[in-house]
């Protein structure tokens, strides 16, 4: 049985929080909102509860979970060492959508970290998440509340599609603010290594740290396996409809992008496929003359946070469009663009057409 509680995100009913905290304290699973996506919460120090998270998400045991904390005492409890440069990020960015990978303390079980000596820690910037952790009085593991390999949930309907009947409770506060998951950066390496691009851009991280950050290909959504980043071994964000991503080297001339997408779309149409185009607000009108195409808008290129907020929703909704293939525009990798592009590249399963400069 899954109980669903609707609460005000800014002024949550404390009785609901207490009830859900009790469920967590007794080893149950509670889906709760964060500023990024919905998380599937369990007591980080209850190994049986953590194991259940892996089972119901169908998540490989080698893929570590992020430990969510509400105060810095908990940070000291779950880590063995918080280096100086980590404090710069903590002071500027927490609470917020940034996960730091640090050396773990012995108190954190290997189940949580997938056997790695490091733990991912984040202090979420959502009143419900913080109050829930405080009330449960224990750090919570909270992977995105989806079946492994599917797009992360930004509304409770998405959570229900994947996990209804499998969790004890869901706290519903409506659509999450940012819509993509936290930036994950490993601070145990020199220089620090980006594990997952996210709302906190590499430009921002480099500015705060005053050093360059290593950005491996897998953190840009490209295929590459790295032992230190178990996530690079697994598939993510697969929408259930084939996705083709069309990219440019330089996004100053969008005509090249719309021309290539129109050409690819026509080829599919001629073969009898049903086709959707996923476009930006600025380029949408270029496709209006293509007959029989379904058009989906991701958001404006001038407001990438809008694109980020919509990306998982659009991927999840592709199934209901009843098309065989969706062709998606690429975005400039600057700032939030990298986080968006890494999601789209993974969702396309590397089905990428790169339009070369001529």
Evaluate whether 304 touches 198 at the Cβ level (below 8 Å). no
C-beta closer to ligand TXA: residue 113 or 310: 113
DSSP H helical segments within the chain, as ranges?
A: 14-25, 47-57, 72-78, 84-93, 110-113, 127-136, 156-163, 202-209, 254-270, 304-321, 336-347
* CA–CA distance, 248 with 163 (Å, rounded to integer): 37
Among 9, 12, 39, 95, binds ligand TXA (CB under 6 A): 39
SS3 352: strand
Shortest CB 66 distance to Mg ion, Å = 9
- Give the three-state DSSP class for 214: strand
Contact with ligand TXA (CB under 6 A): which of 20, 21, 24, 34? Answer: 34
Helix boundaries (H) for 210-290: 254-270
Closest CA to 100 of 209, 183, 218, 203: 183
Q: Is 50 in the site for ligand TXA (CB under 6 A)?
A: no
Q: Are 159 and 146 in contact (CB under 8 A)?
A: yes
* Nearest in space to 283 (alpha carbons), one of 333, 328, 338, 336: 328
Total residues interacting with ligand TXA, rule: CB under 6 A: 28
**What residues numbered 139-198 form the site for ligand TXA, per CB under 6 A?**
142-144, 181-182, 184, 195-196
In the complex with Mg ion, the residue whose CB is nearer, 113 or 144, is 144
Identify which range of 5-13, 82-90, 113-121, 207-215 contacts ligand TXA by CB under 6 A: 113-121
Does the bond joining 50 to the residue before it have cis omega, within 30 degrees of 0?
Answer: no
Site for ligand TXA in 213-232 (CB under 6 A): 229-231
Of 120 and 127, nearer to ligand TXA (C-beta) is 120
142 binds, among Mg ion, ligand TXA, none (CB under 5 to 8 A by kind): ligand TXA
188 binding Mg ion? (CB under 5 A): no
Minimum CB distance to Mg ion, residue 182 (Å) = 10
Q: Which does 116 bind (CB under 5 to 8 A by kind): Mg ion, ligand TXA, none?
A: ligand TXA
- Residue 36 or 173: the one with the smaller Cβ distance to ligand TXA is 36
Q: Is 210 helix (H, G, I), strand (E, B) or coil?
A: coil
| Residue in 70, 113, 144, 280 binding Mg ion, rule: CB under 5 A | 144
63 scored as a contact of ligand TXA (CB under 6 A): yes
Q: How many helices and strands (H and E) does the chain possess? A: 11, 16
Positions in the binding site for Mg ion (CB under 5 A): 144
Positions in the binding site for ligand TXA (CB under 6 A): 34, 36-37, 39, 63-66, 97, 99, 101, 113, 116, 118-120, 124, 142-144, 181-182, 184, 195-196, 229-231
């Amino acid at each position: 049985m899954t109980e669903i509680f609707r609460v005000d995100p800014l002024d949550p009913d404390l009785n609901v929080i207490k009830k859900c905290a009790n469920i967590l304290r007794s080893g149950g699973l509670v889906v709760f909102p964060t500023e990024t996506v919905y998380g599937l919460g369990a007591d980080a120090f209850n190994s049986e509860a953590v194991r259940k998270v892996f089972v119901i998400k169908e998540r490989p045991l080698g893929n570590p979970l992020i430990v969510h904390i509400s105060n810095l005492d908990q940070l000291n409890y779950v880590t063995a060492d918080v280096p100086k440069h980590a404090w710069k990020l903590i002071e500027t960015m927490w609470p917020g959508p940034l996960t730091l990978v640090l050396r773990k303390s012995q108190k954190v079980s290997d189940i949580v970290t997938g056997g790695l000596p490091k733990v991912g820690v984040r202090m979420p910037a959502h009143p419900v998440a913080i109050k829930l952790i405080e009330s449960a009085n224990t750090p919570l593991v909270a992977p995105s509340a989806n079946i492994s390999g599917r797009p992360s949930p930004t509304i409770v309907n998405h959570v229900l599609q994947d996990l209804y009947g499998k969790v004890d409770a869901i706290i519903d506060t409506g659509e999450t603010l940012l819509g993509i998951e936290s930036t994950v950066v490993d601070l145990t390496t020199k220089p620090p290594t980006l594990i997952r691009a996210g709302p906190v851009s590499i430009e921002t991280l480099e500015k705060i740290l005053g050093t360059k950050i290593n950005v491996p290909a897998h953190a840009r959504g490209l295929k590459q396996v790295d032992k230190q980043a178990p996530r690079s071994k697994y598939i993510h964000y697969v929408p259930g409809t084939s996705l083709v991503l069309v990219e440019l080297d330089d996004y100053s001339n969008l005509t090249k992008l719309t021309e290539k997408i129109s050409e690819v779309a026509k080829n599919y149409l001629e073969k009898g496929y049903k086709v959707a185009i996923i476009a930006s607000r600025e380029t949408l009108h270029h496709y209006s003359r293509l007959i029989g195409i379904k058009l989906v808008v991701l958001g404006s290129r001038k407001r990438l946070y809008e694109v980020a907020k919509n990306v998982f929703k659009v991927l999840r909704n592709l199934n209901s469009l009843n098309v065989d293939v969706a062709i998606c525009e690429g975005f400039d990798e600057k700032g939030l663009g990298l986080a968006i592009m890494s999601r789209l590249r993974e969702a396309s399963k590397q089905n990428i057409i790169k339009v070369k400069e001529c």
